[in-house]
Structure 1
Amino acid sequence: MASQSVTKVLSQDLESTLREDRVFPPPPEFAAAANIPSLEAYESLYARSIADPESFWAEAASELHWFEKWTKVLDWNLPNAKWFVDGKINLSYNCVDRHALSDRANKTAIIWEGEPYGSDGTSQIRKLTYAELHAEVQKFANALKSLGIKKGDRVAVYMGMTPELAIALLACARIGAIHSVIFGGFAANAIADRVNDSQCVAILTQDTSYRRGAQIQLKKTVDEALANTPSVQHVVVLKRSGAEVAMQQGRDHWWHDLVAKADPTCLAEPLDSEDPLYILYTSGTTGKPKGLVHTTGGYAVQTYLTTKYVFDLGNPNHPDDVYWCTADIGWVTGHSYVVYGPLQNGATVLMYEGAPNHPDFSRFWKIIDDHRVTIFYTAPTAIRAFIKWGNEHVEKHGLDSLRLLGTVGEPINPESWMWYRERVGQSRCPIVDTWWQTETGAIMIAPIPGAVPTKPGSATRPFFGIQPEVVTREGDPVPAGSGGLLVIRKPWPSMARTIYGDHERYQKTYWSDVPGCYFTGDGARKDADGYYWLMGRVDDVLNVSGHRLGTMEVESALVAHPKVAEAAVVGRPDDLKGQAVVAFVTLESAHNSAATTPEALAALKEELKKWVSKEIGSLARPEEIRFTDALPKTRSGKIMRRLLRELATHGTIQGDTTTLEDFQVIAKLRESEEG
């Protein structure tokens, strides 16, 4: 059962693995200048936000621009929420106009670096001030209007990480068109599915994008999808290369041609707080993708405030911050923490187009030094890749501009957390390990960097106004230290309001499993200090001999072994145990499996099994360990454990692989399976 205590199952071994005794207070020099400078300040504000959440969120909302103020902060009828009822707001105005019409007009809003290097050894760089961004957004908003696109129309966006991608979102938000960003790595059938579900009238794309030195033909993929998307009337194409592009007259338009003819002034549309801002699709293990609908007012307020406090942005003590979130805008992290949250705070946002290992493993660290990045937000899978590539790539760069580090996407194992702190942050930068979801829209659990002491591997404490709890399947709280289901008790402003066209599915998926609560789908536990430890998705929590075991704990134990670079753990059916633990392991370069004898590999497998037994307990001992050169990941850096589960269970992979970054990884895994 979901209420089974993981901690009781693993007894003291789990405690020693997670090392809750390792506590890192905020560096005094950071705290002294932070937006929230102490634990006492955090706890006081958090207590107030829980005691009177409507007043708290109203105060936060008042920091933004509203055309008309709300008449009521919250209208709640589980599971239906309306925030800032009757308020009129525009998120494009709050991201751009509010700064462009102030003394921030000449401040850099976006720094963009392209992946390709020129013949002179330098990369392509563009900078847009808030005034320049304001001009570009207005012109493109009018370009959309010239095609007949209006408030409420759905517009698909299938682009690479260029400034025009951010401009496209802001232009849609300006006129009330609902954008639906489709990650630039999706195939044609995935585009068609999403476009058809929301009946998009237009697709914004580009001829090519760049990844690891190769040109990705985005327009060509869109053309394939268009054979099955009857609702699309217009395609707008950004020119990125000199390659020939097939353009259908009357339907296809060059971005630059439309902008050249567009009126330079486009006033922001006053939108109702509950008007939809965007639809973003998430894939499940089965069934069609879910189009989650986020609305305007509540999302604006919570992305603004979480960015301000979690990343210490908009801090008058650090007016020259350069903020870099490495996520692609095709995912929710890119929506909330590349575009909307940072720009509302008037930040300088760095965007990078390509891969972290092109042309070499030092690319990210060079970018940080070149642009004097102060805040760096990336995924645990990227951090584990950095570790695998070797410390020398980090150590040859100064990284002295950094003052804050962040992680997002999945739980980070303590050893990677420590490496990140010591090697990248040079033991002076706080780490904000953030937990949130596409469905939540904004960060829900994370340390406030100037206030909350951190523990490696823990997302720590809730954000203001958020009431998480760890419960049984019946909704009863579990004791401190015990594992259970992570739920949210009360509504929050940035929550998704529905699944597009299927509100019944929304209610069933998120509000039916645990009575009266939003069920996150994640397993977690809360320790005696009130810190939250995420154990991964519930379907990544294994049932071994009637006991629940978090895959995260086993992965952390494996990665703690000096010969292991990265690990992913899944379960496969077992007649005796119910589920058996299967671990896919990549080794440090010095212990590369291809250069090791079969006898040595067999010995290493046994060594790792014993290691896990020692670190956690015999219950967690892997039944099987498979060595691989790489793990299957999405372009956003998440390990696709579902594919590994299929391989471990059936020996084949039959599920959806459209989000996979490198298909050769699967081919090699299949070869090793057959071998």
Structure 2
Amino acid sequence: MTTIENPAAPTRVYPPEPVFAALANVGEEAWEQAADPVAFWERQAERLHWERRWDRAHTWEPARPTGEVDPDGRDVLTVPKAEWFAGGRLNAAVNCVDRHVDAGNGDRVAIRFEGEPGDRETITYAELQRRVAQAANALERLGVGEGDRVVVYLPVIPETIVITLAIARIGAVHSLVFGGFSAEALRFRVEDTGAKLLVTTDGQFRRGAAVAVKERADEAARGENAIEHVLVVRRTGELTPDIPWTPGRDVWWHEVVDTAPTTHEPRFFDAETPLFIIYTSGTTGTPKGVVHTTGGYLTQASWSHWALFDAKPDDVYWCTADLAWVTAHTYVLYGPFSNGATSVIYEGTPNTPHPGRHFEIVERYGVTTYYTAPTLIRTFMTWFPNGLPADWDLSSIRLLGTVGEAINPAAWEWFRANVGAGSAPIVDTWWQSESGSAIVAPLPGVAVLKPGSAGRAVPGVTVRVVDAHGDDVPSGTSGFIVIDGTWPSMARTVWRNPQRYLDSYWRPYADRGYFLAGDGAKVDADGDIWLLGRIDDVINVSGHRLSTIEIESALVAHPAVGEAGVVGVTDATTGQAVAAFVIPARSLTAEERADPAVWRAIEDELGAALRAQVTREIGAIAKPRDIIVVPDLPKTRSGKIMRRLLVDLFDDRPLGDTTSLQDDTVPAQIATRLADRA
């Protein structure tokens, strides 16, 4: 491994607003309080309801050499093992629902649901408790018990939250799968988890249409697996009438859940009881099913939501992530509900039936905290190149958040100015499925915000930026971000493959005890972290390793560019060259989008200016050889640009796995543009 070239320095900073800082949940003293991390996390664990307190706050067995060598000549290492709050007993669903009702807050709104067609539902904590109890009773009636796995293949609807909490309530293990995934992607997860139950819908609404889903679920349930029942939510009904049905195996939600008793006596489970399995994206290689356990994960999820999003009792909180992604596990399900929050969930796409649908929802429910992906922010910039019109009242917003990828400074500034009224703090969170909760993020009442920087590691966690040997790199120099030691919400293993857990995350720096996150970063002179993207998302031009995020930020800073995706492509002279796929900031009419001459004219107009922009901000070595103007970029539902697909499209190679795409028509649109340029 080698370091990545250093990005440009920031030009503006934003101290915390005095009024916000005065009322913030967490102040500067948090880092002093976390000087002893284990004692700090013990105090945060006390925020939860424990049926029995833990015996040991924390134990850690790092990877150690055994003295043997494997066939590849590497030292054989033991698999590391962490435990947090072992011996303590709790129930995640009780912490997220029952204790709020018991505290007299049953009438507080838990969920504001908006379906894509416009249907709406308000669910209080008392009602959520009844529904979770019904689902728990139904699960047990279907033979699901402690330790059994349940795969949930549902869209963003209340039933997804209900069944997830019910699975946790009975001590089973849930694995949520994005409702847009293919049958093959679903089959892998069904088989790998050994799931006993699959939960799905007859159909879902997507971009204004009802789309059948049950057939894909059936295809995934064929073959060798442990599925005993398929539980089906009736979502689209007569709009998708011809759904397949297997008598004896398939059961309707409204027949087995809605008719079940509305009370359920919870059991309590050891803190290290597995809570869920979540699969990494699968864009390269076989997806890894990382395992999170109950006590440590819930402790850090709950505290980090309260601290980073400054959660107040009267907040209306909206995290826009699909419920299958880890972002939603932590910051829709377990974090907010453990804190008794009111959460908005929305089933559909942000431009159905119009590009301002999100802002319409913000106004309708008085959203105070809006947490979304930088990719969507950049998309908004292309939809509203002159800024947001005054059609929607966004004055309720007091805090913004970003997740998924590093946010470009230009997008950060646009987000604050247009959605945050120029004053709302932006909590830019860096973390991943394996970390379980935000690891680097600004405390909104404390941090001096820098557009494009995620700030410092959260209290109780230590982060370093190191070189290939594990040594800290100097300020301003790029390296690899690692987590030094352990933290409560860390994944404990890879499902059925502990060796992969060791090799993927701990082996590279086993002698230091560092967890390798897989991202490049730098630390500035103030100690703030700047993320540079995945280690694999690096372009090697004549020996210079350039960050894709850095080049994309330079491109997006140009007023004519709304979004950019940068990749390295083969070059006979330099080894790799920079290819930039850019979306124009100005909106095009349908006629313009269909005219190849318009796209060629935009490329001709922008080419020289964008190359000059990158040269000015980074240097000539980063100047794109190819600039391709495209209508959209391939993104996952969680907002990440799938740069691998851009390389495959540029080189005219088979695309491989595209199941996690937000819009599966985008590759064909880009292919058309590339063919037109040939």
TM-score normalised by structure 1 residue count: 0.94
Shift of residue 673, structure 1, vs aligned partner: 2.3
Partner of 1:302: 300
Three-state SS of the structure 2 residue aligned to 1:630 is coil
Match of 1:102 in 2: 103
Pick closer, same or farther for the CA change 1:599–1:167 going to 2, 3 Å. closer
1:91 aligns with 2:92: yes
Residue 54 to residue 372, structure 1, CA distance change in 2 (3 Å): same
Q: State the aligned residue count.
A: 648
Deviation per residue, 1:412-454 (Å, 9 max, x gap): 0000000000011011211000000000000101011111110
Counterpart of 2:71? none
Which residue pairs with 2:187 in the alignment? 192
Contact 2:190–2:225 under 8 Å retained in 1: no
Correspondent of 2:528 among 519, 522, 531 = 531
Structure 2 unaligned blocks of 5 or more: 63-79
Question: Which of 488, 494, 510 is 1:493 aligned to?
Answer: 488
1:30 to 20, 25, 40: 20
Matches within 5 A, 1:248-397: 248-313=246-311, 315=312, 319-390=313-384, 391=386, 393-397=388-392
Q: Does residue 45 of structure 1 match 2:42? A: no
* Whole-Å separation in 2 of the counterparts to 1:653 and 1:408: 30
- For residue 54 of structure 1, what is the aligned residue in structure 2? 38
Do the aligned residues in 1 keep the contact of 2:210 with 2:236 (CA within 8 Å)?
Answer: no
1:142 matched residue in structure 2:
137
- Once residues 176 and 520 of structure 2 are traced to their aligned partners in structure 1, the CA distance between those partners, rounded to angstroms, is 29
Aligned partner of residue 257 in structure 2, secondary structure? helix
**Structure 1 position 310, deviation (Å):** 0.4
Question: Which amino acid is 1:671 matched to?
Answer: T
Q: Distance in 1 between matches of 2:555 and 2:448?
A: 26
Q: Secondary structure at the match of 1:524?
A: strand
Seen in structure 2, the aligned counterparts of structure 1 residues 262 and 586 have a Cα distance that, compared at 3 Å, is same
Partner in structure 2 of residue 626 of structure 1: 628
CA contact (8 A) 1:110 1:127 kept: yes
Say yes or no: does 1:222 pair with 2:221: no
Q: Distance in 2 between matches of 1:590 and 1:335?
A: 35
Distance (whole Å) between structure 2 residues aligned to residue 600 and residue 376 of structure 1: 34
**Is residue 183 from structure 1 mapped to residue 182 from structure 2 by the alignment?**
no
Q: Post-superposition shift, 1:607?
A: 2.1
Q: Once the two structures are superposed, what CA deviation does each residue of 1:64-120 show, in whole Å capped at 9, x if it has no partner? A: 10011011111100121000011111110100011011121110011101110xxxx
Q: Distance in 1 between matches of 2:654 and 2:527?
A: 40
Compare 651-660 and 65-74 and name the one that shifted more.
651-660
| 2:233/2:252 contact within 8 Å kept | yes
Look up the equivalent residue of 2:33 and give its one-letter code.
R
Map of 2:565 onto structure 1: 568
Q: Which amino acid aligns with 2:22?
A: A
- Write the letter of the residue equivalent to 1:73: A
Task: Report deviation, 1:582.
Answer: 0.8
Aligned pair partner of 2:123 in 125, 128, 134: 128
5+ residue gaps in structure 1?
Answer: 8-13, 117-122
Q: Deviations over 1:618-669 (max 9, x none)?
A: 0110111111111111222221111012223x22233211111222211122
Separation (CA, whole Å) in 1 of partners of 2:566 and 2:411 = 16
Q: Which residue of 2 aligns with 1:11?
A: none
Cα distance in 2 for partners of 1:670, 1:90 equals 50
1:553 pairs, out of 527, 550, 554, with 550
C-alpha displacement of 1:26: 1.1
Cα distance in 1 for residues equivalent to 2:609 and 2:562: 15
The 3 A distance-change label for structure 1 pair 174 and 578 is same
State, as a whole percentage, how many aligned pairs show the same letter.
48
C-alpha distance after superposition, 1:19-64 (max 9, x if no partner): 2x4110111121121112xxxx32x321331x31111000000111
CA contact (8 A) 1:192 1:229 kept: no
- Aligned twin of 2:77: none
Residue 477 of structure 1 and its aligned partner are, at CA, apart by: 0.6
- Contact 1:395-1:423 at 8 Å conserved across structures: no
Q: Which amino acid aligns with 2:5?
A: V
- Distance in 1, matches of 2:529 and 2:371, equals 20
Q: CA deviation at 1:597?
A: 7.0
Measured at CA, do residues 22 and 372 of structure 1 come closer, stay the same or move farther in structure 2, by a change above 3 Å? same
Measure how far apart 1:283 and its partner are: 2.9
Maintained 8 Å contact 2:195/2:225: no
Q: Secondary structure, in 3 states, of the residue corresponding to 1:164?
A: helix
Cα offset for 1:178?
0.3
Deviation, 1:520, is 0.4
| Partner SS for 1:539 | coil
Is the partner of 2:628 in helix, strand or coil?
Answer: strand
1:203-214 superposed matches below 5 A: 203-214=198-209
Deviation at 1:489?
0.6
Q: Counterpart amino acid of 1:360?
A: H
For 2:51 and 2:662, how far apart are their aligned partners in 1? 43
Q: Hey, what's the Cα distance between the residues in 2 that align with 1:278 and 1:654? A: 30
Instruction: Letter of the 1:6 partner, please give it.
Output: E
Indicate yes or no: 2:625 matched with 1:640. no
Q: Does 1:612 align with 2:610?
A: no
Q: Tell me whether 1:170 sits opposite 2:165 in the alignment.
A: yes
RMSD between aligned alpha carbons?
A: 1.5
Amino acid at match of 2:334: Y
How much does 1:271 deviate? Answer: 0.7
Q: Distance in 1 between matches of 2:548 and 2:284?
A: 21
Q: TM-score, normalised to structure 2's length?
A: 0.93
1:603 CA drift (Å): 4.2
Change (3 A) 1:235 1:600: closer
